[in-house]
Amino acid sequence: MNVIKIKKWVSNIITSLLFLTLIFTAVVVISSKASGGEPTVMGYQLKTVLSGSMEPGIQTGSIIAIKPGGDMTRFQKGDVITFKESEEKLITHRVMEVKGTGDNTQYITKGDNNDAADLDPVLAANVVGEYKGFTIPYIGYLLSTAQSKTGSALLLILPGILLLLYSGITIWKAIKEVDVKKDASTISN
| pLDDT tens-digit series, residues 83-101 | 988 888 888 899 999 898 8
| Whether residue 61 is found in the same domain as residue 127 | yes
Looking at residue 13, its pLDDT comes to 86
| pLDDT value at residue 109 | 92
Residues 26 and 43 in one domain: no
Edge-first strand listing for the sheet containing 90-99: 40-41, 44-48, 63-68, 127-136, 80-84, 90-99, 106-110, 122-123
The pLDDT of residue 96: 93
103 and 158 inside one domain = no
Q: Same domain, yes or no, for 16 and 108? A: no
- For residues 89 and 163, membership in a common domain is answered with no
- Structurally, the chain folds into a number of domains equal to 2
Do 15 and 25 lie in one domain? The reply is yes
Q: 134 and 160, same structural domain?
A: no
- State the catalytic residues: 51
pTM: 0.59
Please check whether residues 19 and 58 belong to one and the same domain: no
The answer to whether the CB of 94 falls within 8 A of the CB of 79 is yes
Same domain, 25 and 102: no
Last residue of a domain, one of 118, 139, 160: 139
**Predicted pLDDT at 93:** 92
Domain match, 46 and 109 both: yes
Q: Report d(CA 11, CA 3) in Å as an integer.
A: 12
Whether 3 is covered by a domain: the verdict is: no
**Are 70 and 131 members of one domain?**
yes
Task: Write out the residue range of the structural domain in which residue 95 sits.
Answer: 39-139
Q: How far apart are CA 72 and CA 127, in angstroms?
A: 6
The predicted pLDDT at position 188 comes to 60
Residues of the chain below pLDDT 50: none
Could you tell me if residue 130 is inside a domain? Answer: yes
Q: What is the CATH number of the domain that holds 88?
A: 2.10.109.10
